[in-house]
Every structure is written in structure tokens, then in C-alpha cells.
Amino acid sequence: MQYRINHKSGEELSALGFGCLRFHKVEAEVERQIRYAIAQGVNFFDTAYIYKGSEATLGRILAKDGLREKVNICTKLPYYMVKKAEDIDRLFNTQLERLQTDYVDYYLIHMLPGLQSWEWLCKMGIREWIADKKAAGKIRQFGFSFPGPADEFTALIDAGVDLWDVCLIQYNYYDENHQAGRQGLLYAVERGVGVMIMEPLRGGTLVDKLPPEAKAMFDAAPGKRTAADWGLRWVLDHPQVFTVLSGMGTMEMVEENVRIASEVTPGQLTEEDFALYAQVKAAIQAATKVTCTGCAYCVPCPQGVDIPLCFGCLNNNALMGRLRSMWWYVATTEGRNASLCNRCGKCEPLCPQGIPIREKVGQTARELERFPYRVLRLAARRMLRNRK
């Protein structure tokens, strides 16, 4: 296993982190996978309060044979379930009980979407709470996971830079310039915040839902690597990243990912490799619904539509499946969604790709704001209610 230094703590973390969202349904099989991963050098396990049964399962397994002392546990505060300051302690204590531990190595605010929610948490006393928990040895490293656009990410980094030890962002060869993206990765590192990566394979879509043309390109490349291998190698090639989380539900996944993370060091990819990624990405884009590059020349929109973000969600709808992509759309476009468009057309002359923006924004609204969009939006509003 390759290890990388978390410069905030000075400790070595395995390049591969075990994502605990997609556990196998049989706990004995989960234990077999976790024991194998630990034996092969994996020392980082990532879970969350809302991952059904995950914290308790991980806690039961790590309580055996001194396994807890061999690993770092990362879990997350569901801030959207906080109604009053006391809820933070209640949720955290529940997590400690589930995990059968008296401290958490890495504690993140889960799915923190932007500055407004962080400011609300500050009013709830999160800064003082974290300071107390760190002083008591209950939390070693603190940070946040992020699902939103790049401008909100940099604002969050700046607003809490004195507190953030780490952040967790989506990053892969297809989404290099989506969400926080490469811009956010480099900015966080510049500001002294460690970066962990989630969705290196885009929830499996860069393996299971590749267009046939893209699969053929990987198959024809030297080395006969799988699509998963190519995807993980791209992320692991970045020296700024100190661990890459992968949700693993089968032993085959664990074995393959351990092998890859044991082989790859930053800077190994060649110009030919990067050319292949570009060709594969182009094949994926050709199979998607709008060829937006995310340049953002079309914004700001007078009506507040986040056009690049909406187009990213429209493309996700082709690659990720309807419910998953619709939930993502709800979670990231509130107040800047496609149906706000009044077809003024001011955006279209600014697009270097010549995209018929009004047509594609309308398509986004038709595909992603149909049933059950409103139900999901109401649920999201209850979770991510106004923090003023």
C-alpha cells in the first residue's frame, strides 16, 4: 500500500480509503473485506450518520481484535438535522456509541453546500464546539464534505480556513472542472487544507455506464487495465490528494483497488495516458446531452439560473440514472434552477461552444423538474432549511 502524508497531522494515510456507504448486505462478508483491507495496509475508513447501518456495522467490526487502534475513522455531522445547538452533541454522541469508540479521527460536516449554511452553524456555536472536542481528544481532525459549485467552495475554505484541517470533494477525470474541481483542489492545498477525494469513479458510472466507444478505447490501450483501474490511477496521480475514497461492496472490488493503490505513485501517467483520458472523456461527452465545458461565460444569468451547473446535472441524468441525478439537481440548484429561465437569450451570444442555451435549459427543466422533483425539493428544503 502506498501512503501519503497528511501535513496537518503529520501522519501517514493509505492512498486508498475504504468508503463505507455501499457495504455488502451480509455483515460477515463486510468483516472479511475490512480485515483483508487492513491486512493490506488500508488505514482509513469513511462513514456517515445517514449511511444506514454503516456506523454501527463498522463499530462492531473494529471493536474486535484491536482493529480500532490500527485505523482512522472518518464520519460526518448531518448538519441538516440540527435544529438547536444541543443537537450537535446529541448526534455526535450517538455516532460515538454506534462506532464503539470514544474519539473520531476525522469529523466532517456532511454535504456542506455553501457559505450561508456555514454561517448558520457558526451561530449555533460550531467553532466553540469543535475547539472543545479537539481539546478533549474527541475529534482529531475537522473539515467538511462538499457537493456544490466552485465559487461556494472557495468561499467556504476562506471562511473557515483557521478551522479546516481537511475537505472531501468529488474529483475524477470526467469531473475535473465540475463542482470544486481542479480549481478547488489547488486552492484548498494553497490555503493549507488537506484534500480527500470521493467519487473517483463517479459512483461507478465511469465503470458500469461508459459508452461502448469509451470502453473500447480503454480495452485497446496498452496494459489491459480495467475502467476502474484507469479511473483510480487518474486521481492517484495527483500529489495534492492524500487519500481517495472508494465505496467497495465486493471482495473483488477491494482486491482490485488495493492492488492499484499499492502500485500508483503521483506523476506516473504519461502524455499518451492523458491523451487517452481526453479521448474517453470526449466519447462520454458525445453520448451526453449538452457539450458544455463549464467555462461559465454565459453567467451571471439575469434570472439567476446557474447554466453550467444545470447542464452538468442534465448530463448526469444520462449517466447516473434518473432518481440519483434528480436528487443531485435538487441539492445543488435551489434558487438557480432551470425553470427560472425567461428565455431572454442574453446568454447565447456569449457561449464559445455555440450551444442553444435556451433550448437546453428548457430541456433541463423538462427532464429534471418533473415528478418527483417537487417532492424531493420539499424534502431538501426541510433538510437544508434557511439558516438565517
**Shared domain check, 323 and 266:** no
Is 302 inside a domain boundary? Answer: no
Are residues 333 and 210 part of one domain? no
CA angle 292, 294, 295 (to 5 degrees): 110
Residues 320 and 236 placed together within one structural domain of the fold: no
Confidence class for position 388, pLDDT limits 50, 70, 90: very low
Has residue 43 got a pLDDT over 90? yes
Question: Is the previous residue joined to 372 through a cis bond, with omega within 30 degrees of 0?
Answer: yes
pLDDT band of residue 386 (cuts 50, 70, 90) is: very low
Residue 286 forms part of a structural domain = no
Q: Of 35-49, 54-68, 319-333, 356-370, where does mean pLDDT reach its minimum?
A: 319-333
- The answer to whether residues 57 and 194 belong to one domain is yes
Beta strand 194-198 with 16-19 is: unpaired
Residues in contact with 269: Cβ distance below 8 Å, sequence separation at least 6, in sequence order: 233, 234, 237
Residues 6+ apart with CB under 8 A from 12: 3, 4, 5, 6, 43
100 belongs to a structural domain: yes
Q: Is residue 293 part of a domain?
A: no
> 254: domain range?
3-275
Residues 312 and 251 in one domain: no
What does the pLDDT average to over 295-300? Answer: 83
Residue 295 in this model has a pLDDT that exceeds 60: yes
pLDDT of residue 156: 97
Provide mean pLDDT across the span 192-202.
Answer: 94
Do 268 and 195 belong to one domain?
A: yes
Binned at pLDDT 50, 70 and 90, residue 33 comes out as very high
Grid cell at residue 184: 478547488
**Residue 57 pLDDT > 60, yes or no?**
yes
Whichever domain contains 203, its CATH number is 3.20.20.100
Per-residue confidence (pLDDT) for residue 287, from 0 to 100: 80
| pLDDT recorded at residue 384 | 59
Confidence of residue 326 (pLDDT cuts 50, 70, 90): confident
Q: Which helix (H) or strand (E) holds 143?
A: strand 139-146
Predicted local confidence at residue 53, as pLDDT: 95
pLDDT computed for residue 149 by the predictor: 81
Name the percent of the chain lying above pLDDT 90: 73
| Residues 289-298, mean pLDDT to the nearest whole number | 78
pLDDT at 90 over 80: yes
Residue 292 in any domain: the answer is no
> Final residue of a domain: which of 234, 253, 275?
275
pLDDT band at 381 (very low <50, low <70, confident <90, very high): confident
Q: What is the mean pLDDT of the chain?
A: 92
50 vs 33, residue with greater confidence: 33
Decide: residue 292, CB within 10 A, 0-12 exposed, 13-18 middle, 19+ buried.
Answer: buried
Region 193-222: what's the mean pLDDT? 91
Checking if the pLDDT of 345 tops 50, the result is yes
Res 387 pLDDT > 60 = no
pLDDT score of 352: 65
Q: Look at 13-22, 262-271, 329-338 and tell me which has the smallest mean pLDDT.
A: 329-338
Residue 264 lies in a domain: yes
Same domain, 269 and 343: no
Element (H, E) at 12: strand 11-14
325 and 247 fall within a common domain? no
Residue 291, in any domain of the structure? no
How many structural domains is the chain composed of?
A: 2
Residues 265 and 327 in one domain: no
Co-location of 224 and 332 in the same domain: no
Q: Is the pLDDT of residue 370 over 80?
A: yes
> Are 263 and 329 in a shared domain?
no
Per-residue pLDDT, averaged over 144-156, amounts to 91
Highest mean pLDDT among 50-64, 198-212, 363-377: 50-64
Q: Is residue 296 part of a domain?
A: no
- Give rounded-to-5 percent helix, strand, coil for the chain: 50, 15, 35
- Do 20 and 100 share a structural domain? yes
What pLDDT shows up at residue 108? 98
> Quick one: pLDDT at residue 385?
58
The residue among 226, 257, 275 that closes a domain is 275
The helix or strand, by DSSP H or E, that contains position 153, with its residue range, turns out to be: helix 150-159
Give the residue from 275, 294, 323 where a domain finishes: 275
